[in-house]
Chain A
Amino acid sequence: MSALFRESEERTLHAVPFMVPLLLALALALQIIIHSQQATPQARAEALEPAPSANVLRAASFGESIVAAQFSVLYLQAFDNQPGISIPFRALDYNLVMSWLQIALQFDPQSGYPLMMASQLYGQVNDEPRQRMMCEFVHARFLDAPDKRWRWLAHCAIMAKHRLRDQTLALRYATDITRYAGTASGWARQMRIFILEDMGELGSAKVLLGGLLATGEVTDPSELHFLTERLKALESAEKSSSTTKNRQ
């Protein structure tokens, strides 16, 4: 063990000519001064390059596909690190953003990072076409692995309902979650019922809620109570609307 810390045989500092440490200090000082005069690098939105092709990335990663995917999203993320979230996102070419997210997901399909970025980062820009583009991207990728990716589509469904004010789109997403994501949480699978209710489709909502309760899928007592009360509320709402129609 002492061999690890044995002192090496070196001459004293006095053996070094005076000019040598002076040159060393001067060169280091010049390097620091030159660096301090240069502007801090900024990631400009228009500088975002298209993502490399899968073949190129696969060869360049030397088999480390997960790390290649991780560095792809971190590189893309560097273009977000600017003050003011909406302005830089507006300047980004979302087709290029999608290409990076796509390649990251292709190389690491188990990761939720690209879909998180799509739904909760790039989907938050105050620009409807871009929001829709991200939602459709999340929806397309959801269909590849519904049980793993339902939460991102659920976020998009909520975004479609409350921010895009597109109930039809929200219903489409919520229906696909119910249809394909068998292991999704109860609240996500029940979203379509409440969206239908909000759309005034009381009859459809009542049928779906009744069916959900009848299958015994819901086991939590609090949730059962809540959904049963909702069903009663739907039934009374439907009765009052049909009574109004008869009176007319």
Chain B
Amino acid sequence: MHITTIGKYTALEALRTRVPGTALLALVLLVCASLFIRELAVFEAMRFQTGFYAAAARLVAVFLTSVYVLASITREFNDKGLEVVLALDVPRTHYICGKLAGFMVVAVFIAIIISLPLWVLAPAGAACAWTVSLTVELALITALSLFCVVTFSQLLPAAGFVAAFYLLARSITAMRLMGAHPISGEGTPSQQISLVLVEGLGYLLPALDQWTATTWLVDSPPEPVQLLGIFLQGMVYLALLTAAALFDFHRRSL
């Protein structure tokens, strides 16, 4: 009951703070930018347009979702809204889960809006797979942002951590490849330590470079089993981040 109510009002807050309008404006700007790129290309213009739009839309969607979650919770902390809610004897777990549910609705909405042009630029099956994968990715970013803002309490360090995590998760595969095949110094202690560290990070981070891939739209869509793997990994990481957020929130002194 608490979870549903908190989730509903969290989603309503997104409506009142013009998140849909912002997402639509971002979509228009991205389409215009992709048309510009299309005009630059003298060959395979559609491929250029689709590739650029998909890559840019993904980044913008992650940015919008993350910033919204971070700003919303930070504002609630600063306005003492959290103290009011907890004074009403709402369990802390219900608060976090309710907030997460509301933010998930916002993330799904952003994913659907941002992916609309791709239903025209790419085959329907590929656009569908891309949208589903983006939704899972945004759900993960939502949980990560919630965890960061609960842990750090301030907007700047939380935003910095989310950005660093996301960029690292997108480049971890490249880092593992570089670590395993260095140009020089192979076998040296420093290279071995670097390799262990990078491989260790690989265990902890999801390989986001394989999610929501542009190649699905311009070459061939993913196999259903690949999409299922992304969904399962996303759910596991979502549970991990939610547990971490709950852990920190329960330890928070108010």
Give residues in A with beta carbon < 8 Å to B: 3-4, 55, 58-59, 62-67, 70, 74, 77, 110-113, 116
Contact = CB atoms under 8 A, between A and B. Distances in A.
B51 A66 contact: yes
Contact of B174 (A58, A77, A111): A58
B66 to A, nearest CB: 15
Interface stretch (B42-50, B97-105, B125-133, B232-240): B42-50
B173 A63 contact: yes
A124 to B, nearest CB: 13
Contact of B171 (A3, A4, A63, A77): A63
Nearest to A58: B174
Given A4-B20, A58-B177, A113-B44, A70 B209 contact: no
B218 A110 contact: yes
A112 B48 CA distance: 12
Contact of B43 (A4, A64, A65, A113): A113
Interface of B: 15-16, 18, 20-21, 37, 40-44, 47-48, 51-52, 54-55, 167, 170-171, 173-175, 177-178, 208-210, 213-215, 218-219
10 contacts: A4-B21, A55-B178, A64-B55, A65-B215, A66-B215, A70-B41, A70-B52, A74-B41, A77-B40, A77-B42
B55 A74 contact: no
Contact of B209 (A4, A63, A67, A111): A63
Contacts of B167: 62
Contacts of A70: 37, 41, 47-48, 51-52
B15 A3 contact: yes
Contacts of B42: 77, 116
Contacts of A74: 37, 40-41, 48
A112 B219 CA distance: 12
B48 A62 contact: no
Contact of A62 (B18, B43, B171): B171
A55 B209 CA distance: 15
A3 B13 CA distance: 10
Given A67-B51, A110-B219, A111-B47, A4 B170 contact: no
A77 B208 CA distance: 30
B140 to A, nearest CB: 15
Nearest to B15: A3
B44 A112 contact: yes
Contacts of A63: 170-171, 173-174, 208-210, 213
B7 to A, nearest CB: 18
A33 to B, nearest CB: 26
Contacts of B213: 63
A119 to B, nearest CB: 11
A248 B176 CA distance: 75
Contacts of A66: 51, 55, 214-215, 218
A59 B177 CA distance: 10
Contacts of B54: 67
Contacts of B210: 63
A194 to B, nearest CB: 27
Contacts of B51: 66-67, 70
B180 to A, nearest CB: 11
Contacts of B208: 63
Contacts of A112: 43-44
A4 B214 contact: no
A158 B173 CA distance: 42
The 6 lowest CB-CB distance pairs between A and B, nearest first, are: A63-B209, A62-B170, A58-B174, A67-B55, A59-B174, A64-B55
Nearest to A69: B51
Contacts of A64: 55, 209, 214
B214 A67 contact: yes
Given A55-B174, A62-B167, A64-B55, 9 more contacts: A62-B170, A62-B171, A62-B209, A63-B209, A67-B51, A67-B52, A74-B37, A74-B41, A113-B43
A227 to B, nearest CB: 31
